[in-house]
Amino acid sequence: MTLKEFFKAYPKVALAYSGGVDSSWLLYAAMKYGTRVRAYYVKSAFQPEFEWEDACRLAKELGADLKILELDILMYSEVTANPDNRCYYCKGRIFGEIQRAAAEDGFSLVIDGTNASDDAGDRPGMKALQEMAVRSPLRECGLEKEEIRKLSREAGLFTWNKPAYACLATRIPTGSQITAEKLRKTEKAEKLLFSMGFQDFRVRMLGETARLQVQESQLSLVMEHRQKLLEELKKYYSGVLLDLEVRSE
């Protein structure tokens, strides 16, 4: 099945939209193929401000129908307890909100941007989407990340080379309580590194310490900005460590 065929079969869809590479391309494709699509962006403490700004910018450039939903994700203890399967509970809450709003708006099918190179495996978040009957056209049509980036670039979408960005909650160790304060300090820390030119990095919490994970090509940038990094990050953390191991989510 091709995306064109998918959207011909489903001419009216609600899209779970993050403003990232995949959901942005999916929004573009749905509009290109004449589907009636409404994009739903769920704004919560887990998403940094720039993600919301990118989502709004792309939707505006496409002239897309965008609806912003507010969700206080921190009110759910099963999420804030931060268990191994936190994503299962978090996705359930987020997509439950999207399905509720979509149903009220007359949309019966919800789709998301999971692509064919995303490893489904035993990922708790994927399990939640399957249970909720959320469809993933990119995955179903065999479109992988690099192909989506290529197509996005050809379409002129500014998101084509946007680095992958997992939610802020992934910076907090499993089993450690998720709080608004921890999320705020993480967002401020990563905003600082963005301002210094870092790309595709993470600032993770290790107790009260910041653990920086950067690409090998940007290690020299760490040393170049070492003093400022220490001065600024120690406003939020007791210490700053550089992780030399390969980063993984």
Name the residue among 126, 132, 72, 76 with its Cα closest to residue 99: 132
- Percent of the chain exceeding pLDDT 90 equals 88
pTM of the model: 0.91
Residue 118: pLDDT band by 50, 70, 90 thresholds? confident
Range list for CATH 3.40.50.620 in the chain: 3-161
Q: Does residue 249 surpass a pLDDT of 90?
A: no
Domain range 3-161, CATH class: alpha beta
Range list for CATH 3.30.70 in the chain: 179-243
Strands in 193-233 per DSSP E:
202-206, 209-213
Q: Does residue 210 surpass a pLDDT of 60?
A: yes
Q: Looking at per-residue confidence, does 231 or 245 come out higher?
A: 231
Q: Looking at per-residue confidence, does 40 or 117 come out higher?
A: 40
Q: Does residue 219 surpass a pLDDT of 90?
A: yes
Tokens coding 215: 């690409």
Residue 223: pLDDT band by 50, 70, 90 thresholds? very high
Q: b vs e for 196-218, b when ≥16 Cβ sit within 10 Å of the residue's Cβ?
A: eebeebbbbbeeeebbbbbeeeb
Domain range 179-243, CATH class: alpha beta
Q: Does residue 84 surpass a pLDDT of 70?
A: yes
- What does the pLDDT read at residue 126? 83
